[in-house]
Structure 1
Amino acid sequence: MERSLSPTLEQLQQELVQQVIELYRTYLGYQLQQISCHIVDKTVTILAEDSITRLEQFLGENQQTDLALQVRSNLLKFLEPHLQSLIERAIGVPVVDVICNSTFETGRTSIVALLDSAPNVSGLDTERRVKQRLKSDSNPDSDR
């Protein structure tokens, strides 16, 4: 019975995408357009395209690249605990570490969250079983 109440992997990933979009809108006044999320075992990876704010762009366009990079670094440090909190709430698993980085030249931001344990979602359970089966099939000496 409990299994049917667990969200699918895709539902959980989409929920995280929506929450990160809302976080950027609320705290930075910036609307992310392209964002993706992937959960594999105990790792959550979020990639945001065009994530550099207008202020950072303005600074960069006016020969203030060092200041723009400093602003970006500080924004990411500010967002990390908020990202950790929203990931923990959405997934229901403690986050061990959050790593954020941006590439100013491409406008991409990556967020990697390392979880204490794999979340209980139906798609992830299936993925784990497939990986274990492939691993045991490729290793004839493994216990079956």
Structure 2
Amino acid sequence: MLTINFNLLGNIILTIVGIVALIFLIMTLSNINKLIKSFQGILEKNEDNLDDVIDKLPSVVDQANTLVNNINTIVQDPNLRMAIAKANDTMTNVSSISDDIRDTVNYVGVTAVDSIDTVNAGISSVSDYSSLIMDVIDIVKNVISGR
């Protein structure tokens, strides 16, 4: 008869799982070690550049602070604010003038069309009157010649 010792079986399974976990741990540590060596190589390769950047960083920060202070001074200048307000007023006036010009051009166009229609009507009237006068002259001629 075969007896199964569950305690021994559990220990074997735990040992196998432990060995697999230990292998994965070793592989992970190996990859991390390679990554650190690669990063260290990059740092050594660019050491001079990094030193230059670190040396220039305080100067750049000071220049940036000076720039920000200058911009704040310019933005808070009341003359600039007044100039911007005047520019806005000017743009509003230009827009208003543009609207007035558009309205004037439309009015002139309508007036020109009305004037042309009036002149055309006058010419038609003159033509009608001249035709009527010609008819009257023809009638008078006929009456005089028929006598």
Higher-Rg structure is 2
More strand by share: 1
* TM-score, normalised via structure 1 length: 0.23
Report the TM-score when normalising by structure 2. Answer: 0.22
- Relative contact order: is structure 1 or structure 2 higher (C-alpha 8 Å, sep ≥ 6)? 1
> More helix per residue: 1 or 2?
2
